[in-house]
Amino acid sequence: MSRTFVMVKPDGVERGLVGRIVARFEEKGFTLVDAKLTRLDRKLAEIHYEHLNTKPFFGELVDFITSGPVFAMVLEGKDAIQNARSLIGATNPTEATPGTIRGDYAIDVSSNIVHGSDSDENAEREINLHFQ
């Protein structure tokens, strides 16, 4: 069993999708190990997305993720990162397969409902960053 970090972004929280999203992970076989509804401050958001700080959309990304509450989770399961990312779907919702979270709920790439760790290293880093 391994762990991953998943966060329902402000658009998903605002639209009342937290319960549905958590249920999708539980139905897939994940165990919810830790969770919290929180609001990221700018400093934490900049640290979370520091690997994207040279991208032209970095400022907009930080503005968005700090615009409202998020639901942060630690999930445990077999091949947690790969399985979670498969369930989440492609970053761009127009490319996300129906049946994935983004394929079913996301509207555009800037408001794509959910974040999921993309590697073991990032999962550990993000879990430590959000659940100290």
Active-site residues: which are they?
A: 115
Structure token pair of residue 116: 């999921």
What counts of helices (H) and strands (E) characterise the chain?
7, 4
Please answer whether residues 10 and 65 qualify as being in contact, where contact means their C-beta atoms are separated by less than 8 angstroms: yes
15 burial level (CB within 10 Å; 0-12, 13-18, 19+) = middle
* CB crowding 16-39: b at 16 or more within 10 Å, else e: ebbeebbebbeeeebeebebeeee
